[in-house]
Chain A
Amino acid sequence: MLKSDLTGAATAERLALPRSLIPARRGGVWGDRLYQGMVRAAVLAFVIIVVGIAALLVYAARPALATFGWRFLATADWDPVAEHFGVLPFAYGTLVSSLLAMLLAVPLGIGAAIFLAELAPFWIRSAIAFLVELLAAIPSVVYGLWGIFVLAPLLRRWVEPPLGRWLGFLPLFQGPPYGVGMLAAGVILAIMVVPFIVAVSREVLLAVPNHQREAALALGATRWETTRLAVLRYARSGLLGAVLLGLGRALGETMAVTMVIGNRPEIALSLFAPGYTMASVIANEFTEATSDLYLAALIEVGLLLFVVTVVVNGLARLLVWSVGGAVKEVRE
């Protein structure tokens, strides 16, 4: 805990600050207290918001929690007319589409970041960085429209039939090619999260001190060995952070996925088959959910999406910590 000893002139000298930057004091310690209070309040607001969201979701989901209990987690049936609700197909869809997106986006994103940070000529760097930022700024509904009109027909005609022909022995690539479905959702999510992964990874790689590279080169390492041993290893936990940022976005993405996933609450192994995600079912059905139980079931889906996000983020945090520890060992 830093106390207010940072205000003294002695500290300023120690930090080599020009005296002229710190104005003559009038407010005394009150200004500092106000400053601390405000910063604390900002943090407290976050805590209150997160706890508040969780509490409100639990409160509003009570009818569904009481009616279905744990069955809600294990039922694959979603029938608003008969009021039978289960979250399983949606949880499956959310996890599989996000996983697929990460499988496609992580190699692409980190590869692009390595090129931008390590290899690219300077003028290309800024041009590509601009393009990547542009991708990140496109609204998700635009991605969704593009998904319906460009990506889905493309997948139906040119991607899914050959996949089915050559890899059709795998259950992943069986069934009729609709275009829309789990594969389309995974691809569009991958495109949406790549810019985040590239942007953050690039910053992380650029932050790796040059002496790391110089040391590796001095030992006679090739370019690839330098990148692999001196740069990537050093930047591991930062890169994981970039991936997690992308994963967080993929788990919660609603609009674009809803438009291309086919919205069918079924668990199908095939990536060609339509699926459904937790965020999508809420977006689709919330406005017209008239009965209390139906509404509560949708809110419980929201609660579980919240839980999934927290769990995934928590696991990820653990991973970052463990990798961070490993890096320290390497350095020592």
Chain B
Amino acid sequence: MRKLTVVAAVIAALALVAGSQVPAPAPAAAELLINGAGATFPYPIYSKWFDEYAKVEPSLRFNYQSIGSGGGIRQITERTVDFGASDGPMTDEQLARAPGELVHIPTVMGAVVATYNLPGNPKLRFTPDILADIFLGRIEKWNAPRIQAANPGVTLPNDPIIVVHRSDGSGTTYIFVDYLAKVSREWEQKVGRGTSVKWPVGLGGKGNEGVAGQIKNTPGALGYVELAYAIKNHLSVALVRNQAGRFVEPTIESTTAAGVARSMPADFRVSLTNAPGANAYPIASFTWLLVYKEQADEAKGKAVVTFLHWATTEGQKYAADLLYAPLPLEVVRQVEAKIGQITFQGKPLLVAR
């Protein structure tokens, strides 16, 4: 009896597998598989793009592994994927190690927000020096005079600030500490920038959900998470004073505004934190796709550049729904020009539509 059941189960499973594979190989004749790997932060928008782009170009299939920016940089450097993805620009040293010239293509923007757990959920305002000093361990209490001065009318408790940061290496951490390093000389010298740093104070939570979970369960906690995560989970987020002296609420619009504000270097390797625009939220960043300027395979190269062009123009309309900030229009124009420079055997691959 039991044997029979097992046999039946195996047959059923085989039938299922076979059945699911039957429709797939139909367009196999012209199907092209593009492999990519890297950042986890933009993964939702990238998979949305792959889906939508399949309607435009059904012969193309994408396989994207969200293994983290570090892994993306390693894999594109070793040419094991057709494109990499990173939340932080590659360093000169990393670029020099790649076997060819890599170009950075900004795709969308994200922001990092300060979130907290205080009785009554007051709307807080932070100046750059307050944020830096809290994370340096110099401001230890919520009712410190400087926090109170920036938040007139808010009743702050006489409780310790429990700092929560990401414990896993993350582009979110990079953006946040890059900002702290820009606004605080002490942070730059003592801690520096990186996807993981040696935090002067605080507890580490794994992932956005780990940080948010600890903050939610700890009165008096303060930490940072991605803007998209904060919006989705209705967390209280702080306004931060930008370079122009205004307290800016982190939103999709104020994030895009940070991309407008900066004069763009030709290779797009730019940090957008502490951006100068009046409406710019100061803790924002691009996320990039990494491709070789000289492509090794004509068909794949053509597919990649056409997709990149679509993603940075047409594809931008899907960004806001998924809580990513679209690229500013000026940047889109510059990116188009950059994509036009990607070549196969010296000839540009992008064909004007």
A residues with CB within 8 A of B: 77-82, 145, 148-149, 152-153, 156, 176, 178-181, 258-259, 262-265, 274, 276, 280, 283-290
Contact = CB atoms under 8 A, between A and B. Distances in A.
A288 B206 contact: no
A186 to B, nearest CB: 16
Nearest to B207: A259
B204 A263 contact: yes
Contacts, number: 98
A78 to B, nearest CB: 7
A156 B169 contact: no
Contact of B217 (A79, A82, A179, A274): A179
A78 B171 CA distance: 19
A176 to B, nearest CB: 7
A142 to B, nearest CB: 13
B205 A263 contact: yes
A288 B167 contact: no
B196 A259 contact: no
A198 to B, nearest CB: 29
Given A262-B204, A263-B205, A264-B203, A284 B197 contact: no
Most chain B beta-carbon neighbours within 10 Å: one of A181, A284, A290: A290
A287 B70 contact: yes
Interface string B190-208: 0111111111001111100
A258 to B, nearest CB: 5
User: Considering the complex of A and B, which 6 residue pairs feature the smallest CB-CB distances, nearest first?
Assistant: A288-B169, A263-B204, A287-B68, A263-B167, A81-B192, A288-B195
Contacts of B61: none
Contacts of B80: none
B71 interface: yes
B68 A81 contact: no
A276 B94 CA distance: 30
B68 A274 contact: no
A283 B204 CA distance: 13
B218 interface: yes
Given A259-B205, A285-B168, 13 more contacts: A77-B198, A80-B195, A80-B198, A148-B210, A259-B210, A264-B203, A276-B204, A283-B168, A284-B169, A288-B168, A288-B170, A288-B195, A289-B169
A262 B203 contact: yes
Contacts of A149: 213, 217
Contacts of A179: 217-218
6 contacts: A79-B198, A80-B198, A145-B213, A276-B204, A288-B69, A288-B196
Contacts of B171: 288
A88 B70 CA distance: 25
A265 B202 CA distance: 11
A152 B204 CA distance: 14
Contact of A259 (B191, B194, B206): B206
B302 interface: no
A146 to B, nearest CB: 11
Nearest to B195: A288
B53 to A, nearest CB: 26
B77 to A, nearest CB: 10
Nearest to B73: A290
